[in-house]
């Protein structure tokens, strides 16, 4: 059996005979955003298979290898060839530090770059400034150190690197996500920039580091670089500007707004780049309702019209979309099922001319379910005033079957009426009739607060007395009350109740749109046995929250009506952002707490009565 020293010598000889490992690090996979987030948690994603054999054994040794085997000359030969791997090799870094004087200046740079990948959150990066005068950096070493300086917010180091190497236009190789990437991934990587300075800008974009992006742009980075966002379940193409716009409302909006401003001031094209699709930045800004940014992009050259050279991308997507429509079992790229598009063509296309979606510019947004395609008009179809404004600036408002289905799903009643009016009143009315047959609640979905007292009395709450009750006030002056009578009182005749449950009345309404009014077609009240509710929000639950058990009553001009929503879910069931902003602060008001206290007391009284032995109330 070999002794430990013999094993160490054998391992050392294997290292001497091994081929140098290609430098690895986050900078190789900037496009792989999943890897960027989890690389530190799962280092094998970065080190790959390289550290599963000889280098892995060497890096895992409890005692530094240099204390057992090798002459200084042998170590100098080995480490000068493999300084980067030694830096990434955990305990091997102690060996390098022991023989640091034997390393060439470039090998020292490679060692520091490798070390920074696994020790970026330690003082290694901070001390890198002290090491810079005594080393030389290859393009890979420079890129690795610069990207980690950005990722861990070390602006002084990035500044020093770009002062020492002021125009890093060398090109390096990007890696695929896996050891054997698919051909499609290789083809996509070939479309990205591999200049060091552009990779530094890309790292700044991903890290939301405006100061680092400014430094990169000042040293020659291209403000129009393509950005590929590869995730586990989706991928998406951007320009640098498009990426900043799309992430503005996901993270710190003010910081990302600064990034958008910086890119535009540095020469980023407002009209976009071919890689991401021309005008995709404008579509993103429209989708987010950023009117000032939309106006700025249009002023600087973006267009609401489809560019002439976009034919190839749209045709490819149209062919894929049409092939999926043939199978009615799944949605097409626009999120619509074949039966829905068939309805649009057959029922509406026979009244008005629907244009092929291939005549529109098509964009793509990614999500964990694979993403969806959309057109410029899809981004504003829910806002008829914006639709009219941008139509005057060149927006193509001819309807395709896909856009029609999107508008119907979005409950864009007013926009549909406006768009269909382009074909005459008769065609509009016939088309709207068929749309109502297809979706009866069109124009009324979630518009509970638009209902008013009706002459037929369907939605009147005649038995509700608002006197001396807590209430909330809406912007129009009307009041909302919680109806505690939905919690059965002691003495009810609803029947026995299981332990841990209580009797609750559910109020629901069926809404319909009649011209410019929302009416209640039907009011339904049903008693249900429910698990006892939770007072405070939790993470995982089967029960309702207490405020979700309290139907709302609205008082308008002295008349009270049922709304069909509860105090707890009203904020999530309102189509208007203004109304949602109005109701959100209610949870902090004393009235909200008082109502929940009253409801809790009423439930306790009911439960106590239920548990004492149910006896039907006498008629």
Residue-wise pLDDT for 403-451, tens only, equals 999 999 999 999 999 999 999 999 999 999 999 999 999 998 888 888 9
Looking at 118-122, 426-430, 468-472, which range is the least confident one?
Answer: 118-122
Segment 350-367, tens digit of pLDDT: 999 999 998 999 988 876
- Angle of helix 280-287 relative to helix 291-299, nearest 10 degrees, comes to 160
Instruction: Tell me the mean pLDDT in the region 1-9.
Output: 69
561 — pLDDT class (breaks 50, 70, 90): very high
Give yes or no for residue 481 having a pLDDT over 80. Answer: yes
556-561: long-range pairs with CB below 8 Å, 24+: 556/452, 556/453, 556/478, 557/453, 559/453, 559/460, 560/460, 560/461, 560/462, 560/464, 560/466, 560/481, 561/451, 561/452, 561/453, 561/454, 561/459, 561/460, 561/461, 561/520
Segment 29-44, tens digit of pLDDT: 888 887 777 655 545 5
Burial (0-12, 13-18, 19+ Cβ within 10 Å), 392: exposed
How many CB atoms are closer than 10 A to CB 475?
A: 10
CA pair distance 66, 94, nearest whole angstrom = 9
329 — pLDDT class (breaks 50, 70, 90): very low
Instruction: Tell me the mean pLDDT in the region 226-231.
Output: 90
Segment 385-404, tens digit of pLDDT: 999 999 999 999 999 999 99
- Could you tell me the two tokens for 282? 């404008």
CA pair distance 280, 362, nearest whole angstrom = 9
CA pair distance 571, 584, nearest whole angstrom = 7
Q: Between 47 and 170, name the one with better pLDDT.
A: 170
Strands 472-473, 479-482: pairing is antiparallel
Give yes or no for residue 330 having a pLDDT over 60. Answer: no
On the CB side of 305, CA atoms within 13 Å amount to: 7
Give yes or no for residue 75 having a pLDDT over 60. Answer: yes
CA pair distance 36, 45, nearest whole angstrom = 10
Give yes or no for residue 52 having a pLDDT over 50. Answer: yes
Q: Between 34 and 485, name the one with better pLDDT.
A: 485
Instruction: Tell me the mean pLDDT in the region 120-133.
Output: 68
Q: What is the pLDDT of residue 26?
A: 81
- Angle of helix 139-151 relative to helix 123-131, nearest 10 degrees, comes to 140
Q: Between 308 and 228, name the one with better pLDDT.
A: 228
Q: What is the pLDDT of residue 3?
A: 67
327 — pLDDT class (breaks 50, 70, 90): very low
Q: How many angstroms from the chain centroid is the CA of residue 219?
A: 31
Instruction: Tell me the mean pLDDT in the region 338-350.
Output: 96
Give yes or no for residue 1 having a pLDDT over 50. Answer: no
Instruction: Tell me the mean pLDDT in the region 95-118.
Output: 81
Closest alpha carbon to 138 in 99, 168, 167: 168
On the CB side of 43, CA atoms within 13 Å amount to: 15
Q: What is the pLDDT of residue 243?
A: 94
CA pair distance 60, 89, nearest whole angstrom = 8
Q: What is the pLDDT of residue 317?
A: 38
How many CB atoms are closer than 10 A to CB 92?
A: 26
Give yes or no for residue 562 having a pLDDT over 50. Answer: yes
b/e string for 443-463 if b means 16 or more Cβ within 10 A?
bbbebbbbbbbeeeebbbbee
Give yes or no for residue 78 having a pLDDT over 70. Answer: yes
Q: How far apart are the first and last CA of the chain?
A: 95
What is the length of the chain?
619
Give yes or no for residue 84 having a pLDDT over 60. Answer: yes
Q: What are the phi and psi torsion angles at 130 (to 5°)?
A: -70, -30
Mean pLDDT of the chain, nearest integer: 83
DSSP character string of 340-386:
HHHHIIIIITTTS-PBPGGGS-EEEE--TT--EEEETGGGTTT-HHH
Q: What is the pLDDT of residue 541?
A: 56
Helix (H, G, I), strand (E, B) or coil at 150: helix
Segment 508-531, tens digit of pLDDT: 999 999 888 999 999 999 999 999
Question: Helices (H), strands (E): how many in the chain?
Answer: 26, 10
b/e string for 373-383 if b means 16 or more Cβ within 10 A?
bbbbbbbbbbb
What element of type H or E holds 396?
none
Residues of the chain with pLDDT > 90, as a percent, come to 48
């Amino acid at each position: 059996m070999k002794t430990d020293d013999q094993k160490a010598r054998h391992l050392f000889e294997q290292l001497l005979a091994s081929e140098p490992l290609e430098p690895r690090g986050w900078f190789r996979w900037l496009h792989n955003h999943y890897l960027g987030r989890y690389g530190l948690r799962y280092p094998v994603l970065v080190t790959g298979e390289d550290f599963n054999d000889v280098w892995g054994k060497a890096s895992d040794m409890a005692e530094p290898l240099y204390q057992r085997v090798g002459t200084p000359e042998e170590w100098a030969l080995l480490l000068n060839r493999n300084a980067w791997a030694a830096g990434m090799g955990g305990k091997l870094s102690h060996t390098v530090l022991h023989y640091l004087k034997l390393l060439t200046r470039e090998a020292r740079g490679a060692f520091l770059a490798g070390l920074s990948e696994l020790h970026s959150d330690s003082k290694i990066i901070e001390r890198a400034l002290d090491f810079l005068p005594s080393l030389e950096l290859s393009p890979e070493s420079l890129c690795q150190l610069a990207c980690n300086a950005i990722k861990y917010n070390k602006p002084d180091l990035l500044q020093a690197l770009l002062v020492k190497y002021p125009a890093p236009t060398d090109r390096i190789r990007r890696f695929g996500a896996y050891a054997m990437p698919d051909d499609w991934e290789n083809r996509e990587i070939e479309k990205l920039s591999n200049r060091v300075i552009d990779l530094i800008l890309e790292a700044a974009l991903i890290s939301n580091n405006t100061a680092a992006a400014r430094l990169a742009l000042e040293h020659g980075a291209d403000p129009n670089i393509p950005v590929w966002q590869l995730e586990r379940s989706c991928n998406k193409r951007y320009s640098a500007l498009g990426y900043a716009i799309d992430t503005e409302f996901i993270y710190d909006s003010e910081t990302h707004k600064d990034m958008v401003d910086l890119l535009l001031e540095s020469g980023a094209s407002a009209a976009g780049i071919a890689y991401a699709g021309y005008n995709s930045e404008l579509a993103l800004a429209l989708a987010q309702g950023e009117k000032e940014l939309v106006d700025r992009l249009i002023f600087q050259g973006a267009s609401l019209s489809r560019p002439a050279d976009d034919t190839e991308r749209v045709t490819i997507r149209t062919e894929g979309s049409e092939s999926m429509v043939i199978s009615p079992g799944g949605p097409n790229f626009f999120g619509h099922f074949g039966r829905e598009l068939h309805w649009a063509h057959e029922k509406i296309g026979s009244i008005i001319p629907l244009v092929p979606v291939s005549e529109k510019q098509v964009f793509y947004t990614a999500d964990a379910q694979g993403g969806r395609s959309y057109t410029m008009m899809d981004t504003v179809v829910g806002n008829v005033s914006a639709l009219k404004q941008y139509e005057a600036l060149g927006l193509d408002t001819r309807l395709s079957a896909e856009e029609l289905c999107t508008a119907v799903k979005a409950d864009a009643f007013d926009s549909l009426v406006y768009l269909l009016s382009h074909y005459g009143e008769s065609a509009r009315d016939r088309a709207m009739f068929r749309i109502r047959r297809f979706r009866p609640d069109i124009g009324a979905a979630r518009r509970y607060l638009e209902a008013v007292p009706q002459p037929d009395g369907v939605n009147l709450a005649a038995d509700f007395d608002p006197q001396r009750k807590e209430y909330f006030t809406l912007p129009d002056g009307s009041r909302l009350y919680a109806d505690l009578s939905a919690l059965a009182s002691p003495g009810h005749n609803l029947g026995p109740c299981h332990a841990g449950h209580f009797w609750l009345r559910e109020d629901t309404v069926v809404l319909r749109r009649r011209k410019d009014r929302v009416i209640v077609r039907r009011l339904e009240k049903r008693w249900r046995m429910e698990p006892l509710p939770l007072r405070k929000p939790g993470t995982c639950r089967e029960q309702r929250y207490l405020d979700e058990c309290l139907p709302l009553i609205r008082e308008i001009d002295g008349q009270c009506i049922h709304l069909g929503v509860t105090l707890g879910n009203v904020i999530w069931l309102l189509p208007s952002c203004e109304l949602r902003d109005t109701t959100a602060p209610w949870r902090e008001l004393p009235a909200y707490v008082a109502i929940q206290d009253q409801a809790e007391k009423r439930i306790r009284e009911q439960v106590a009565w239920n548990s004492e032995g149910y006896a039907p109330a006498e008629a």
